[in-house]
Structure 1
Amino acid sequence: MIKTGIPTLDGYLKGGLPIGKTIIFYGPPTVDVDIFGMQVAYTNLINNGVCYYVTSKSSPDLIRSNFREYGWDLIPYASRFAIVDAYSSLIGASPTEPFNVKDPESIESIDDAMTGIIDSISPGDMIVFSSLSSILDTCGGGPGIPDINKVLESIKRWNKMAVLNGGIVVYNFTDYGYPPELVEQVKKGLCNSSVVVDRIGGESGYGQYFKLYTCDWSKPPEFPTLFKVVKPGGIKVHIPKILVTGPKGAGKSTFIRSAASLSSDKSVSVDRMGTTVAVDYAHVMLKGFTIDMFGTPGQDRFNPIIKNIAKDALGIIVVIDSTDPKSFERAVEMLNISKTKDVPYIIAANKQDLEDALDTEKIRKKINLPEDIPIVRVSASNNMNVAQAIDIIIKKIVGVR
């Protein structure tokens, strides 16, 4: 398996891309599709792979600059990374790359270059097309023009050749208003797998998502995955709200501050006499995820506020004081206030560094917790298992085991 390096996607693909498979990332102009091919290419390089990167809408220098913007230095991998220049000749510039296309407006010329490369690849070598749509437009004459079918036939032939040689082919495709039948062929008929990238709520949406759309070796998930593009860093799966709740004095604010210290160290807490009277907040980056965490106050009088804060939470961490069994009833009450149907939750048994802390089995019995709900032993004051608790709730949210 060749990993894509895109969080959660490798899980949906059962570990990544098998040798001899092809994948296409598809989306409208309002989303950043190009980053997907770049991240797959760079992940392949850092895992000792060979990559040919076909550029048809940007100069090779700009491609290298774009990689650097995401913190991906290509220089250490120069012997295993080659840019196939299908752009310079299009604007009348002299190609300087070892691999180039003499006439980017001719599918025959592109075909000659690609056939030579594909004939030479070894099993596991990767070819990434930065923009399949630009090749369709340049060689096919634009949306709706019959010559596009000729381009598609060439692409299918490259795929077959690459599969026979054990290569992996990755395409980026941006839909610039192509006919619906062409779009469906691109999404379903060109590759072994396809990933749709789009915005939530259309062009004016507030976030981006990707979803495995088709795959002939793994079942696509039911739900899409939210993501952000970070510079440097690339694609990070975005979880807009994890709720951290629990009784007064359980250590919610300390848990959130500890979570923030794992990455950005950005947290906000409003305290009065050591007790939170407003909402705690932290932005956390962990293992390819960006997470917004919100903490609730613990007193009874804040129950209506707690219920409001809990709206749209994708997961809940209930922090309890392992040394204070009397507070467990309130913890269960707060969970019931916060939880809606199908929202995953875990228990963070805090203060496990103290001698009188109850073990997880005693806690499970006292709160009558189902066996399938994890209890994580943590000590928020010294970061013990805070990352583990967050990792567990993330896996429950995204459904990757």
Structure 2
Amino acid sequence: MVISTGIDLLDRLLAGGIKKGASALIMSTPGVEDLQFAHQCLFAHLNNKGHAVYVVNNKKPSILKATLKEFDWDVSPFEKKGSCIFLDCYSGLLSMKSQEKDYVSNPTSIAETSEAVFRLLKKVKKPSLLVFDSLSSLIDLTNAEEDVLSFLKRLKSQLKESNTTMIALFTRWPYSKTTIDSIEELFDCVIRLKAIEQKVILRSYFSVAKAKWLAQLEKKEIPYKIVSPGGVKVFIPKILVTGPFNAGKSSFIHSASTRAVSVDRLGTTVALDHGHVDFRGFAVDLFGTPGQERFDPILEMLGGEALGVIVVVDSTDPKGFARAKEMLELTKTEGLPAVIVANKADLEGALSSSKIRERMKLPEETPIIPVVAEDIKKVRKNKPCKLNPEDIGKVFEKLFETIV
């Protein structure tokens, strides 16, 4: 049995989620957003009829709840039912009266904090989740790294007895290497968050560094961003959509996107299309290329930094297949993960996927997805048309399989 993190791809890397009764450390470098990883898991667990204790020692619980609401994760109904309990380990630092039923008067005391946590773990019903926000703040408040480690050892023993799963947030400030290594060693699972600078832009990545319940760990660095509402999304900053003139690139981008814009409209084509896609926990930016040869000089620039490519061809126009191959070469995207969209697949004269593969001399591993209009009666000449959502979903499923 597992507890879902609420993040589809992370669940896949963990073979379904965090094993019940296990402890997971979300370790981030300073400046990297980590809170939403815990919040997304918390809300998914509560929605799945679970119970949770949330220990917060670095902000007022009211601010925490407001942040949850911003992401459409309103936990107040679960609080009223008693399935979500907040332990306030912050108000006491400011000598303020806590608004929570459960609080710690002296958050700098490890003994008082641990006593309150253990008491609530006995009180809460199963299946239960403990969110600790955060371990690094606990170290800073108590200034006692050894005592925090001792507390974690006792806590792990208690979690095992009650089959409670824990998620703890930890920012990797310049603590001693011994402390950091010891904390990592205590946890069954370690999820690392970091930012990497790419041409002056910082991109955030998550990876699973450790999961004791897995025989084999798939080590991948997954790009992500935090969106509100929505939370953690696997972020693919650039997918190129290319193909011959009038093949249906604009129709694909506009049909796939939650929001799309077109620039420099000329007759039946759009010189540049841009769209944003939210699909099953992925956030993707699509960039279209013009199909006319007069735009060839800028194709290499448009293909720069793309992580994958969608090639749209007209199934009824074999003459365009050579042009599609040429555009792949011009955009310098050959070798990137690619999917061929065989548009207009239901029209008279449309070639089958096998015939298209043969004509384009494509390897077997390159997916070809037939795509049709959602309603052929609504198709208008020289206008982007709405494509079948199920077909578009198949395109993204195949592409994301190869990218991540």
Both structures adopt the same fold (TM-score exceeding 0.5)? yes
Amino acid at match of 1:37: A
Match of 1:253 in 2: 250
Matches of 2:266 and 2:98, distance apart in 1:
66
Matches of 2:340 and 2:38, distance apart in 1:
38
Q: CA deviation at 1:367?
A: 2.0
Match of 1:137 in 2: 140
CA deviations on 1:171-213 (whole Å, 9 max, x unpaired) are 1112332223322333x312111111121229x6422221212
Q: CA deviation at 1:345?
A: 0.6
Matches of 2:120 and 2:19, distance apart in 1:
20
Q: Give the conservation status (yes or no) of the 8 Å contact 1:270–1:280.
A: no
3-state secondary structure, aligned to 1:356 = coil
Query: Is residue 27 of structure 2 the alignment partner of residue 26 of structure 1?
Result: yes
Amino acid at match of 1:94: K
Query: Is residue 37 of structure 2 the alignment partner of residue 36 of structure 1?
Result: yes
CA deviations on 1:325-364 (whole Å, 9 max, x unpaired) are 1211222222344455752111111012323322222222
Change (3 A) 1:342 1:120: farther
Aligned equivalent of 1:226, options 219, 223, 227: 223
Query: Is residue 403 of structure 2 the alignment partner of residue 397 of structure 1?
Result: yes
Matches of 1:49 and 1:324, distance apart in 2:
55
Percent sequence identity is 35
Q: CA deviation at 1:169?
A: 0.1
Structure 1 residues 70-81: aligned runs within 5 Å: 70-78=71-79, 79=81, 80-81=83-84
Q: CA deviation at 1:156?
A: 2.1
TM value normalised by structure 1:
0.90
Query: Is residue 144 of structure 2 the alignment partner of residue 105 of structure 1?
Result: no
Q: Give the conservation status (yes or no) of the 8 Å contact 2:52–2:129.
A: yes
CA deviations on 1:48-92 (whole Å, 9 max, x unpaired) are 111111111112211111111111111222221110111122221
Aligned equivalent of 2:387, options 377, 380, 383: 383
Matches of 2:181 and 2:304, distance apart in 1:
36
In structure 2, list runs of 5 or more residues that go unmatched. 374-384
Q: Give the conservation status (yes or no) of the 8 Å contact 1:379–1:386.
A: no
Aligned equivalent of 2:168, options 168, 171, 178: 171
Matches of 2:17 and 2:34, distance apart in 1:
19
Q: Give the conservation status (yes or no) of the 8 Å contact 1:19–1:123.
A: no
Matches of 1:180 and 1:342, distance apart in 2:
41
Matches of 2:336 and 2:213, distance apart in 1:
29
Change (3 A) 1:83 1:215: same
Q: How many residues align?
A: 387
3-state secondary structure, aligned to 1:4 = coil
Matches of 1:131 and 1:368, distance apart in 2:
55
CA deviations on 1:129-156 (whole Å, 9 max, x unpaired) are 12111111112x1xxxxx3111111112
Deviates more, 1:338-347 or 1:242-251: 338-347
Q: Give the conservation status (yes or no) of the 8 Å contact 2:338–2:399.
A: yes
Q: Give the conservation status (yes or no) of the 8 Å contact 2:328–2:334.
A: no
Matches of 1:207 and 1:345, distance apart in 2:
23
Q: Give the conservation status (yes or no) of the 8 Å contact 2:194–2:205.
A: yes
Matches of 2:336 and 2:160, distance apart in 1:
41
Match of 1:331 in 2: 324
CA deviations on 1:86-131 (whole Å, 9 max, x unpaired) are 1122221223423322321111111111222333455531000121
Q: CA deviation at 1:22?
A: 1.0
Matches of 1:46 and 1:242, distance apart in 2:
33
Match of 1:362 in 2: 355
3-state secondary structure, aligned to 2:357 = helix
Q: CA deviation at 1:392?
A: 2.3
Q: Give the conservation status (yes or no) of the 8 Å contact 2:194–2:204.
A: yes
Amino acid at match of 1:345: A
Matches of 2:393 and 2:155, distance apart in 1:
44
3-state secondary structure, aligned to 1:312 = coil
Deviates more, 1:38-47 or 1:92-101: 92-101
Query: Is residue 261 of structure 2 the alignment partner of residue 267 of structure 1?
Result: yes
Q: Give the conservation status (yes or no) of the 8 Å contact 1:121–1:167.
A: no
Match of 1:92 in 2: 95
Amino acid at match of 2:55: V
Matches of 2:8 and 2:31, distance apart in 1:
21
Matches of 1:163 and 1:338, distance apart in 2:
55
Aligned equivalent of 1:148, options 145, 170, 184: 145
Aligned equivalent of 1:347, options 336, 340, 344: 340
Matches of 2:161 and 2:359, distance apart in 1:
60
Aligned equivalent of 1:180, options 167, 177, 182: 177
Q: CA deviation at 1:253?
A: 1.4
Match of 1:310 in 2: 303
Report the aligned-residue RMSD: 2.1
3-state secondary structure, aligned to 1:280 = strand
Amino acid at match of 1:125: S
Query: Is residue 185 of structure 2 the alignment partner of residue 189 of structure 1?
Result: yes
CA deviations on 1:303-330 (whole Å, 9 max, x unpaired) are 3422222122111111000111121122
Amino acid at match of 2:256: A
Amino acid at match of 2:197: G
Matches of 1:197 and 1:287, distance apart in 2:
21
Aligned equivalent of 2:276, options 283, 286, 296: 283
Q: Give the conservation status (yes or no) of the 8 Å contact 2:251–2:386.
A: no
Matches of 1:255 and 1:39, distance apart in 2:
31
Change (3 A) 1:341 1:253: closer
Matches of 2:126 and 2:213, distance apart in 1:
18
Aligned equivalent of 2:291, options 288, 298, 313: 298
